[in-house]
């Protein structure tokens, strides 16, 4: 039988108010540790507080007598510290990661999204395992340990700023879910880690008019189906991954609209995009009326099909274009969206329209995006500033 001290009500004048205090055995510390359970604020009167405390003290003492204790390596259970349950599972970091991934899968993230989370967290777990701490309680991930990991990413793995910041984003998201699920309490220790300065947008460079003309001529002659995909990226501002998931039923030629479902969109939000004349000509050539409304718009068969185009199809086909013109790695198929943004901004300079078309959640995101493309530096406007 593990040692313990029974729960009792403590009257307190501190900001958090009255609380229940008890001592439970901690295997790793080989000692009793004090626990506090504050009375929820919803209990206003002394009578309500007392009734809550009486019931909860009875539950806690019953669990202590039954042998409940803290053993993080065995991921055992501890006395509950929230108002809804009497027990709280204490997860090791590895257990918490596994549950995090299952929750993300339940939200039906795309395979690449799940893979990104899994791979990033697995690298973190492997690093913790090398120090023998991958099975400690997730709440023991302190700032010092986290600092060491991010120093390791820079000094040993030589992470770029983008990779470093992406890792930080995943780990912040992971710990935020731990807080939301009440597996831990307090603040997110990953919030103290600052992002590295990043040359946002250094990849997916926009193409020049000359490059586009050359690509069009070459592609129409050697891979005309790829040109259709390029037109969708350019005219609709959609990501190649989203275009793969488009179906015939998403194309409304009567209203000249593309309906982007939440399942298709990377943002998980339903959107609608206009079909401009240049794109409509391409769509009409596809003779969509001859296919089922549930068929995917693009497939490896180069026609609408019940089987969507593979993830690597566009990359594989566009690689031949890159090799032919000897483009560097910073030129990609997605660069045609950036090309469209540059061309449109230079013509209209309407940031709000671009924000809507790009489906950015804020104007700040659009401004950052435009700056990364070398825009938002209207020198002519500045040169007209009156002299003083």
Percent of the chain past pLDDT 90, that is, above it, reads 34
DSSP character for 91?
Answer: -
The CATH number given to whatever domain includes residue 141 is 1.10.150.130
Residue 38 and residue 140 share a domain: no
352 vs 127, more confident: 127
Residues 48 and 102 in one domain: no
Q: Please give the pLDDT value at position 80.
A: 44
Q: What is the predicted pLDDT for the residue at 270?
A: 74
Q: What angle do CA 292, 296, 301 make, to 5 degrees?
A: 100
Structure tokens at 132: 């023998």
Name the more confident of 88 and 254: 254
Least trusted range by pLDDT, from 100-114, 143-157, 305-319: 100-114
Mean pLDDT on 50-67: 86
Residue 74 DSSP label: G
- For residue range 146-160, list pLDDT tens digits in order: 988 998 898 888 888
Residue 278 sits at φ, ψ, to 5 deg, of: -60, -40
| Single residue among 88, 115, 140 that ends a domain in this structure | 88
Residue range 203-220: mean pLDDT, rounded: 90
What is the strand order of the sheet 251-252 is part of?
251-252, 257-260, 271-274
Residue 371 lies in a domain: no
Is the domain of 100 the same as that of 18?
no
Furthest C-alpha separation in the chain: 85
Are both 115 and 160 inside the same structural domain?
Answer: yes
Q: Is the pLDDT assigned to residue 364 strictly greater than 50?
A: yes
Single out the residue of 276, 280, 278, 363 nearest to residue 354, CA to CA. 363
Rounded Cα distance between 81 and 89, Å, is: 10
Predicted local confidence at residue 317, as pLDDT:
94
CA distances from 68 to 26, 62, 90, 195, 230 (A): 10, 9, 12, 41, 62
Reference 324, options 233, 226, 218; nearest CA is: 218
Q: Is the pLDDT of residue 304 over 90?
A: yes
Would you say residue 228 has pLDDT above 90? yes
Which residue among 88, 104, 131 closes a domain? Answer: 88
User: Is residue 238, in this structure, part of any structural domain at all?
Assistant: yes
The reply to whether the predicted model has a pTM over 0.95 is: no
Answer yes or no: is 324 within a domain: yes
Task: Identify which has the larger pLDDT, 375 or 33.
Answer: 33
pLDDT at 371 over 60: yes
Of residues 305 and 200, the one with the higher pLDDT is 305
372 inside domain: no
CA distance 287 to 268: 29
Q: Quick check: is 378 in a domain? A: no
Instruction: Look at residue 89 in the predicted model and tell me its pLDDT.
Output: 58
3 state SS of 179: helix
Please check whether residues 324 and 261 belong to one and the same domain: yes
Indicate if the pLDDT at residue 381 is higher than 80.
no
Give the pair of three-digit tokens for residue 192: 């103290």
Separation in Å, CA 168 to CA 184, 191, 202:
19, 9, 20
Could you read off the pLDDT of 229-248 as tens digits, one per residue? 999 999 998 888 889 999 99
| Parent domain of 222 | 216-332
Q: Is the pLDDT of residue 75 over 50?
A: no
Final residue of a domain: which of 33, 60, 88?
88
Structural domains of the chain, count: 3
Residue 88 has pLDDT above 70, yes or no: no
Whether 83 and 103 map to the same domain: the answer is no
Whole-number pLDDT of residue 367: 73
107, 79: one domain: no
21 vs 23: CA distance, rounded Å: 7
Q: What value does the mean pLDDT take over residues 271-296? A: 92
Distance of CA 160 to the CA centre of its chain: 19
User: Would you state the pLDDT for residue 216?
Assistant: 95
Q: Is 81 in the same domain as 102?
A: no
Q: 228 with 326, same domain?
A: yes
Q: Tell me, yes or no, whether 101 lies in a domain.
A: yes
Which of 127, 139, 131, 130 shows the shortest CA–CA distance to 93?
139
Rounded CA-CA distance 116/120 in Å is 6
The residue among 178 and 30 whose pLDDT is bigger is: 178
The mean of the pLDDT values for the chain is 82
User: What pLDDT score was predicted for residue 31?
Assistant: 86
Q: Is 37 helix (H, G, I), strand (E, B) or coil?
A: strand
Residues 51 and 136 in one domain: no
Q: Are residues 231 and 137 in the same domain?
A: no
CB atoms within 10 A of CB 281: 12
Q: Could you tell me if 271 and 305 lie in one domain?
A: yes
Place of tokens 């007209």: 384
**Cα-to-chain-centroid distance, residue 155:** 25
Is residue 208 in a domain? no
What are the φ and ψ backbone dihedral angles of 338, each rounded to 5 degrees? -60, -40
Residue 9, domain member (yes or no): yes
């Amino acid at each position: 039988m593990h040692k313990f001290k029974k729960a009792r009500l403590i009257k307190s004048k501190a900001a958090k108010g009255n609380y229940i205090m008890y001592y439970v055995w901690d295997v790793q510390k080989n000692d009793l540790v004090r626990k506090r359970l504050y009375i929820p604020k919803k209990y206003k009167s002394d009578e309500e507080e007392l009734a809550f405390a009486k019931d909860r003290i009875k539950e806690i003492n019953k669990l202590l007598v039954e042998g409940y204790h803290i053993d993080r390596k065995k991921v055992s259970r501890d006395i509950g510290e929230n108002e809804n349950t009497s027990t709280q599972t204490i997860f090791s970091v590895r257990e918490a990661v596994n549950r995090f991934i299952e929750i993300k899968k339940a939200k039906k993230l795309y395979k690449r999204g799940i893979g990104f989370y899994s791979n990033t967290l697995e690298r973190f777990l492997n690093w913790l395992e090398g120090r023998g701490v991958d099975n400690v309680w997730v709440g023991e991930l302190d700032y010092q340990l986290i600092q060491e990991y991010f120093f390791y990413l820079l000094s040993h793995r030589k992470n770029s700023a983008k990779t470093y910041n992406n890792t930080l984003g995943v780990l912040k998201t992971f710990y935020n879910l731990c807080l939301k699920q009440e597996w831990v309490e307090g603040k997110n220790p990953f919030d103290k880690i600052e992002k590295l300065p990043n040359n946002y947008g250094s990849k997916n460079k926009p193409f020049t008019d000359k490059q586009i003309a050359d690509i069009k001529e070459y592609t129409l002659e050697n891979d005309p189906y790829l040109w259709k995909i390029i037109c969708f990226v350019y005219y609709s501002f959609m990501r190649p991954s989203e275009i793969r998931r488009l179906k015939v039923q998403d194309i409304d030629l009567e209203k000249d609209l593309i309906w982007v479902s939440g399942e298709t969109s990377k943002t998980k939000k339903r959107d609608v995009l206009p079909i401009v004349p240049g794109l409509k000509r391409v769509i009409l050539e596809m003779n969509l009326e001859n296919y089922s409304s549930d068929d995917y718009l693009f497939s490896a068969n180069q026609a609408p099909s019940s089987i969507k185009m593979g993830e690597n199809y566009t990359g594989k086909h566009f690689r031949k274009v890159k090799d032919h013109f000897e483009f560097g790695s910073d030129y990609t198929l997605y660069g045609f969206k950036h090309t469209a943004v540059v061309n449109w901004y230079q013509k209209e300079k309407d940031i709000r329209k671009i924000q809507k078309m790009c489906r950015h959640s804020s104007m700040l995101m659009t401004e950052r995006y435009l700056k990364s493309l070398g825009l938002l530096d209207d020198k002519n406007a500045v040169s007209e500033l009156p002299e003083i």
